[in-house]
Amino acid sequence: MSYPRRIGLPTELWYRIIQALPSNDQRRCLYVSRMLHDIAWEIVFSHITIRFGLWRDVSDPCSEEVCDDEQVEADKATRLSCELLRHIKQSPDLACIVMGMTVRAYTYPEEGPSQELIEATGDALSVLRLHAFAWYGRGPEPQPEVLEALIEHSSDTLSELTLPPELPDFCPFLPSINHLRSLAFLPHHKIDGDLADVFEEHSDALPLLTSCKVMCGWMTAEDIEAFATFLQGKSFLQRLDFVHSYGWASEDEPLTNEPVLRVLKDLPHLTILGCDIRSQQLTSDHLAELSACIPRHLTALSLRISASEMTLTEDEWAEFFEAQEFCRYLQLLPDNDIELESVVSRHPPPVLQLLGYKRNLRWVSRNPSTKEVLYSDSWPASKVYFRQTDDFGYEDWEWLLRHHGQDSIINNLPTE
């Protein structure tokens, strides 16, 4: 389609300009001119967000009660989502440009799920060919027909999938999405059959994975070993986040995720890593084991640290942090009785740009004259929860913290 040249720039350049704008400004472009409308239309609706109700800060005791204004806003969000989904179902021109869908399911407990919205979601998925799909929240839990519609109609195009936290059984879907590049698996309960059987049966599945996030609260030693085997053939893997709450290593035992740590050396492209350190007594041997296994070229690292007792000294932690010479984003998620914030603040990795400690995220800079490490104010709570790539500046960093503190029982961000 051609347009008058009075605006002065070619359409291709306007597309790049609008693509780089914040989302609110992209929407404003829908009302400027026909040309900008057509360009912005493709960008704004390339990824849609469907809302069941509204998210609230569950760490705030005052959020228990729902005020009238919140209820009105929640009802409006649900209604608008229904309207959008119906429009997609009835408008082939719109359906063909929707490449991604995110569902935020946060209806209040007293509301109950909106069956109308669930049905509208399934209907819309029947006409979409998505590249990315994500489901956040458990209000409502995802219905089987939603996932069935997604896989039936988008299995050939889907490259990024965040599996809902209450998904009963994801095993049958794996052979259908063998070209998947990004997988997030966040179960809250045991799926049908042992997880070890799943990974062993499908050890050759998803050979093109570049991103893998598995966060479980119930894994056994056999599950962890099977997952390590599953990872061995994933030579394209660039990002891995593996969190579980199985067992405790004793003082003279390796860390519980040691089978996965051993595999890291066989993942040549891995630059983004999240993992656990779990031990009854966390010792220098455990930290040395971790340090020996993680790649030296990591640019972002997240550590969830759980221990009943810790014998590590400040110097040992300082040596570990300072040894991460390429790490630009470090996220620490220790238990509430473990204090490491002062240590890492004094001894950050040499090129660190962003430090996360529990819910506290701060930008890092250095005085050019004195080399003193300087920290920004902490991010607001809502920004931490609904963090977007634009907030971090790097999609890899947003991915690493994704789902931590979002909807998973074992991985809520510590608050104190």
Please choose, from the candidates 128, 155, 142, the residue with its C-alpha nearest in 3D space to the C-alpha of residue 46.
Answer: 128
Q: What is the pLDDT of residues 307-357, one digit of tens each?
A: 888 899 999 999 999 999 999 999 999 988 889 999 999 999 999 999 999
Residue of 42 and 97 predicted with greater confidence:
97
Alpha carbons 213 and 241: distance in angstroms, whole number = 5
Question: Where are the chain's structural domains?
Answer: 1-44
| Mean pLDDT taken over the chain | 84
* pLDDT for residue 383 is more than 60: yes
Please choose, from the candidates 52, 53, 51, 49, the residue with its C-alpha nearest in 3D space to the C-alpha of residue 72.
Answer: 53
Q: What is the pLDDT of residues 32-70, one digit of tens each?
A: 888 888 888 888 889 999 998 877 655 554 455 667 777
pLDDT at residue 379, as a whole number: 95
Q: Are strands 373-375 and 360-366 parallel, antiparallel or unpaired?
A: antiparallel
pLDDT at residue 61, as a whole number: 44
C-alpha dihedral, 356 to 357 to 360 to 361, nearest 10°? -10
Reported pTM: 0.76
* pLDDT for residue 416 is more than 50: no
The 10 Å Cβ neighbour count of residue 140 is 20
The mean pLDDT value for 142-166 works out to 83
* pLDDT for residue 31 is more than 60: yes
Q: Are strands 354-357 and 360-366 parallel, antiparallel or unpaired?
A: antiparallel
**Please, which residues have CB within 8 angstroms of residue 230's CB and are 6 or more apart in sequence?**
199, 200, 202, 203
pLDDT at residue 184, as a whole number: 86
